[in-house]
A = this chain, B = another copy of it.
Amino acid sequence: MPKKRVLPYIILGILKQNPGLSGKEITEQFTCEIGEFWKASHSQIYPELKKMLADKWIEKRSKEDNAKEIDYFLTLNGKSVLKEWIDQPLELPVNRDPFSLKMFFINDKDDPRVNELIDEEKRLLKEQLAHLKMREALLFDDEKRIQQNYGHYLILTRAISRIEGQIAWLKSIK
């Protein structure tokens, strides 16, 4: 049994919310919108798009004979494939967390590296928190936008809540 594929479903989701994006624009989505939850580089995305074209999950419409810009759209088939994926049972991910790993291997409570790791992790989390709060202020400044992109709003507030919780925990142990 092959490992579960996720990337094509993410691309389907991106294209459903933003019909007509190019490969480049899809790549940018991974750095900004869903970068907290998945990373993918263009060298993964372009071959994946070709495969999805071959499978008739998406179609392309090169507008104005411009050879460079290629715009992709979901097919009806692609829409149902996306629906099916969302309805598949959830699984909890493994949290590959370098902070926890390194801390795990320090036995002595008074090891100076304990506080070093805590400070470094706190700094990183605060950076990420600032970024997420900026996104929240930018994207969801009124109730209407929340209603129209409810899932996006939820996971953004969830990520913020998660990081705030982690920072609070880090503060609580010092």
Write the residues of chain A forming the contact surface with B, with a CB cutoff of 8 angstroms. Answer: 6, 9-10, 13, 16-17, 33-39, 82, 85-87, 89-109, 111, 113-114, 117, 120-121, 124-125, 128, 146-152, 154-155, 157-159, 161-162, 165-166, 169, 173
Whether the pair A100, B150 counts as a contact (CB closer than 8 A) is: no
Whether the pair B37, A96 counts as a contact (CB closer than 8 A) is: yes
A150: chain B residues at CB < 8 Å are: 106-109, 111, 114
Kindly name the residue among A9, A148, A154 whose own CB sees the greatest number of chain B CB atoms within 10 A: A154
A86: chain B residues at CB < 8 Å are: 102, 105-106, 113
Copies in the complex: 2
Give chain A's interface secondary structure class: helix
Whether the pair B152, A121 counts as a contact (CB closer than 8 A) is: no
